[in-house]
Chains A and B, each alone.
Chain A
Amino acid sequence: MAFIFTEDQEQFRDSVSRFLKDKSSTPDVRSLMATEAGFNPDVWVQLSQQLGMTGVHMPEDLGGAGFGAVEMAIVCEEMGKSLYCGPYFASAVCAASAIRLAADSTQMEALLPEIIAGERLACLAVSEHQGVWSDENFSTTAVARDSGYLINGLKRFVVDGGNADLIVVVAKDDTGVGFYTVDANDVTVTALESMDPTRKLAHIQFTDSPAQKLANGGSDQLKLLLDIASTALANEMVGGAQTLLDSALSYTQLRFQFGRSIASFQAIKHRLADLLLELELAKSAAYQAAQTLASSALWCADGQAAHPEQVTEHASLAKAAASEVYLHTALECIQMHGGIGFTWENDTHLWFKRAKSSEVLLGTPAQHRERMLTALCAQPTDLKDSA
């Protein structure tokens, strides 16, 4: 299956890229990462309302642009390049997709337009213990009370947990896994001090927190939601790795030692070539995952939709591949800068730290490799063989 971006998609990428170059420069990143919220609300509003990035993958009748997973992935890749600091991943990718997957049409109309417009920030609270999301992996409970539910439990490492107005939380009741919405005023949020200050994390404690249940959320939705999040993150990661590779390329050509540019040493040259190889492979995986996702049940009518296990296979494949490439590129980029690469003043460490935090977010590469294999084995024979 050959993959190439359409003209429209390329144009969209250009406009996103231009916007981020302007609004998310490295000095911007450095000043935002030192703040508690970690993002600039003005830029967020522009990005949501003028460029429509937050709703690019959302239906038009809810205020979105009506495109799919590929366009969402383009935004993520560009954000990864510039290390954009803001709740795009948390609110527009994770929480909004969770609502779209799990809510009925009335609930969607009530919740999504504001989130898509960037007026209301949402986050997604799933993980408790380490690892990929799965039904067995959490113990937060939902108990019916009056017209709604009460949630109890601790969710850990919630991305932009401290910035959200609305929390989409996954919890269990007698019938199994469900999706619930909780107002941020009804929970206790502990902001975490993370080595990667460009992505804000929090623990969220639910104590008899009043909640509404989304009508259609269950295990299948959770699985597809992890595919969406993993695919988005994989694209963000290859974007970040590209910036690092560009930086290593330009620095090693500029830097002279022993009367010649250090890029002229084969020891450096070959490694740069290898990094390019790794990155292009990971990019192909991330792009393919986005394309497969674009034909998943969420964006594609029943009957033509991709097999759910293939969606999962490609998402986890891309996440595992991109994680390793990003971190490896970051370490090499530091090394190729020499002493300056180890300083705070040089920008490489910002991407290095994001690479590490992305590697463990949503599950480790080893866990995604497992998840990928499980999904592969679960596919019908004809699909598996064509692989």
Chain B
Amino acid sequence: MQSKQQIEAQVRQWLTENWDPESNLVEWRSMLAQSGWGAANWPEEYFGKGLSAEMSTAIEDVFAEFGAVGTAQTGVRMLAAVTLLEHGNHEQKRQYLKRILTGEDHWCQLFSEPGSGSDLAGATTRADLDGDEWIINGQKVWNTSAHHANYGLLIARSDWDEAKHKGLSYFIIDMHQPGVEVRQLRQMNGHASFNEVFFTDARVPRENIISTPGNGWNVAMTTLAYERRSFDRSRDNKRSKQKGRIFVELKKELDISNEPYTWYPQRAGRVDLIMQRAEETGAINDPVQRQDIARLHILSESAKWTAQRAKAAQKAGKPQGPEGSLGKLAASEVGRLAARVHTTMSVNDALLTGPDSVRDGVIAEILVSVPAGSIAGGTDEIQRNIVAERVLGLPKETRFDEGPFRNVQRNSAAKDSGK
């Protein structure tokens, strides 16, 4: 095995020979994919080097040193990547992984339905095999960036006589076909990053199933586990000031990829702005507010260190402790408290969104975005159930949804808006 220094030296040499800010973005990323340096922790067979996560981080640092553009490992396309790496067959991996790294494809996650959100396995979108094609009918909802996507990760019911979790299959669906209709939904924060997706006799070639019919739930667990671990991976909003053709192209690509996510930092609570705002507003001199600011600092630092502790254990190859399952819940707490502290510090100004607002309305956007964090990617309640049942080993809820799915009681209240 090679040492870290040796690998870093190889990357440096490779970048010295190849990195050129004037290159074409997709060509450069293709080259990265071929070389394996763009996804070093992926298997060698599939555009990686088969190295550990730790090595891969070290390699990213060398890229940063050079100011070199890396592969497009962001957003929903990463959910596709991890799922394919674990469950895809050889052809699928060869076909899709490279274009994920080059950023040529945009993906979306087609899991939630009007009738099944927390109870994801209750999906009722149908997949019926007809010769060499699966015919898809039904509706999905809350699908982030489906309006940009050319591929979707779809779970649908292929067998109604099996028990709930056993009748699902997992597909790659081409979003650009006549049977797929995408409608954007507006959120309470004014953005429209998620969608409703309707399928009417949409088609999926038989070979586009991931794993086997009926094994969709297992595959979905891989996607979800990654999603729930990566909720806090800050999307890189820093805009490179470097010059070169590739950076112009990168900016264009990021403008599309990041469009649904511009409010995500606000959704996390913008802890980074707390101390600046505390000074600006004078809240730092208010004995009551100081206590809340301090409490938030304790919470967010502890949450960060918990994530680091979990990561360190993972890198060292130790079995995961409870700390690894708590990140998403901790993030919800941080977000909620940060929203409260921010809006308390700004008092009336927290309401403003127009030209008279503080920092372009960012405080108001925090307030109206934070509530998404404890819903998206599995609600806090579902996270607590997971922690209670899988981590603490507590007795499971009595089930009301066993037996053939056909007979399980369900209803969709999702269309009812409540009042």
Contacts and interface: CB of A to CB of B under 8 A. Distances in A.
Interface stretch (A64-72, A291-299, A351-359): A351-359
Interface in A147-198: 156-157, 190, 192-196
Interface string B171-186: 0000000000000011
Contacts of A334: 188, 371, 375
Given A260-B400, A338-B375, A349 B188 contact: yes
B292 to A, nearest CB: 9
Contact of A157 (B348, B376, B409, B413): B348
B381 interface: yes
Nearest to A197: B353
A267 B382 CA distance: 10
Contact of B353 (A157, A194, A255): A194
Given A257-B119, A265-B381, A192 B356 contact: yes
A374 interface: no
A247 interface: yes
Contacts of B353: 193-195
B414 A366 contact: no
Nearest to B407: A259
Interface in B265-315: 288-289
Interface stretch (A137-145, A211-219, A301-309, A340-348): A340-348
Contacts of A344: 185-188, 190
A339 B112 contact: yes
Interface in A308-343: 331, 334-335, 337-343
B119 A203 contact: no
A335 B419 contact: no
Contact of A356 (B336, B343, B354): B343
B411 interface: yes
A251 B119 contact: no
Contacts of B418: 247-248, 250-251, 337, 340-341, 346-348
A258 B401 contact: yes
A9 interface: no
A226 B385 CA distance: 46
Contacts of A258: 118-119, 122, 397, 399-401
A364 interface: yes
B372 interface: yes
B190 A338 contact: no
Interface string B347-382: 111111111110000001001100110111001110
A274 to B, nearest CB: 15
Nearest to B372: A342
Nearest to B357: A193
Interface size class of B (residues with CB under 8 A): 35 or more
A262 B350 CA distance: 34
A251 to B, nearest CB: 5
A209 interface: no
B419 A26 contact: yes
Contact of B356 (A203, A257, A361): A203
B419 A243 contact: yes
B410 interface: yes
Given A254-B413, A258-B400, A342 B375 contact: yes
A341 B375 contact: yes
Contacts of A35: none
A366 B155 CA distance: 49
A5 interface: no
Q: Is the interface of B mostly helix, strand, loop or mixed?
A: loop
B6 to A, nearest CB: 48
Interface in A112-140: 127, 130-131
A360 interface: yes
B347 A259 contact: no
Given A259-B399, A335-B374, A342-B371, A360 B351 contact: yes
A349 B368 contact: yes
B97 interface: no
B191 to A, nearest CB: 9
Contacts of A260: 400, 409
Nearest to A339: B142
B187 A343 contact: yes
A196 B350 CA distance: 11
A250 B416 CA distance: 10
Contacts of B367: 195, 356
B360 to A, nearest CB: 12
B204 to A, nearest CB: 25
A335 B379 CA distance: 8
B344 interface: yes
B408 interface: yes
Contacts of B118: 257-258, 262, 338
Contacts of A247: 418-419
Contacts of A352: 188, 368, 371
B384 interface: yes
A96 to B, nearest CB: 23
A339 B120 CA distance: 13
A163 B394 CA distance: 59
A254 to B, nearest CB: 4
A360 B350 contact: yes
Nearest to B416: A254
A26 B117 CA distance: 26
B3 interface: no
B413 A360 contact: no
A340 B372 CA distance: 10
A256 B371 contact: no
Given A156-B348, A192-B354, A335-B380, A256 B411 contact: yes
A256 B190 CA distance: 28
A56 to B, nearest CB: 27
9 contacts: A194-B351, A195-B364, A254-B411, A255-B413, A258-B399, A268-B381, A335-B374, A341-B375, A348-B418
Interface of A: 26, 127, 130-131, 156-157, 190, 192-196, 201, 203, 243, 246-248, 250-251, 254-260, 262, 265, 267-268, 331, 334-335, 337-349, 352-353, 356-357, 360-361, 364, 366
Given A256-B115, A340-B414, A344-B186, 11 more contacts: A131-B347, A195-B350, A195-B352, A256-B409, A256-B411, A268-B381, A334-B188, A338-B379, A347-B418, A360-B351, A366-B344
Closest 8 CB pairs of A and B: A193-B354, A259-B401, A349-B188, A259-B400, A257-B119, A344-B186, A255-B413, A130-B347
